[in-house]
A and B are shown apart, each in its own frame.
Chain A
Amino acid sequence: MNKQSDTDLKTFLQRYRPTAPEAPPYEFNTIMAKIDANERKHHHRFSFWWRFAIPVTVAASLTLLIVSDFHNKQTTQVTSADDAALESFMYESYAVVDNGNSDLNVGDDWLQLAM
């Protein structure tokens, strides 16, 4: 196949190029209606998120935050009995160290270690 036959074929194809049937007169309106419907669908999807999903998510997060905070406060509360037990433990421990009866034998080198 040489260049001349290429050109001839191209000329032939262009000259007798099949022509598409005429567009129907309502085509433009149909396209615009499809675009409009598509836009509405997108808008609807978007507005669903803004109207329902996002507020619900925010409300759920806030509720979760409040509940967890309340739960935290509840668990960290110390009863008076615990308080008394802790106080007596500290008092007894301190008394043991203060009387020199502690099992700990730190010796005098604690000063050297500290320096």
Chain B
Amino acid sequence: MVRGVVYNICGANPLDDIVQDVWLKVWNGLSQFNGQAQLKTWLYRVAVNAALDHYRRRKKTNRETELKPEAAGPDRRDNDLVYKDLVQKGLAKLSEKHRVVVVLSDLEELPLRDVAQITKTSEGTVKSRLHYARQEMLKFLQREDHQV
């Protein structure tokens, strides 16, 4: 789950490093975990924050801020892989905030309440971000000649 969230938020480049960083933070923060939030929600928050931290650091140091999905190789003829590429490219086109809500809500299937807790926003904000993110995603898919 940690790996999937980090991968969908900031790509494959230093995935292992970020995942290791997440577990280190979890280990260090476990004693301070107050139990008010669910352990799962807290774990998601640590993963999302680590992924975003890395993404922002990369944004500062690197001019190329856009996530680069892995290029489809010649062996990627399979439809599933083509669509997976498409989703990955679509996610990469979204803004940071929109990507996080789509990943948590649509891919991880977390309830809005949990997404709001993880992103430290209100449910209304999550709903609004999700609405715009889905619109952008649909537009992207249409541009790529794909109808959902």
Contact = CB atoms under 8 A, between A and B. Distances in A.
Interface string B102-126: 1000110100000000000000000
Contacts of B91: 18
Interface residues of B, number: 34
B16 interface: yes
A70 interface: no
Nearest to B132: A1
B16 A13 contact: no
6 contacts: A6-B134, A12-B141, A20-B6, A20-B8, A30-B20, A34-B24
A13 B4 contact: no
Nearest to B134: A9
A90 B138 CA distance: 105
B7 to A, nearest CB: 4
A1 to B, nearest CB: 6
B70 to A, nearest CB: 9
Nearest to A22: B3
A16 B107 contact: no
Interface string A4-48: 011011101111111111011001001100110010000000000
A31 B24 contact: yes
B138 A16 contact: no
Contacts of B4: 17, 19-20
Interface in B1-24: 3-4, 6-8, 12, 15-16, 19-20, 23-24
Contacts of A30: 16, 20
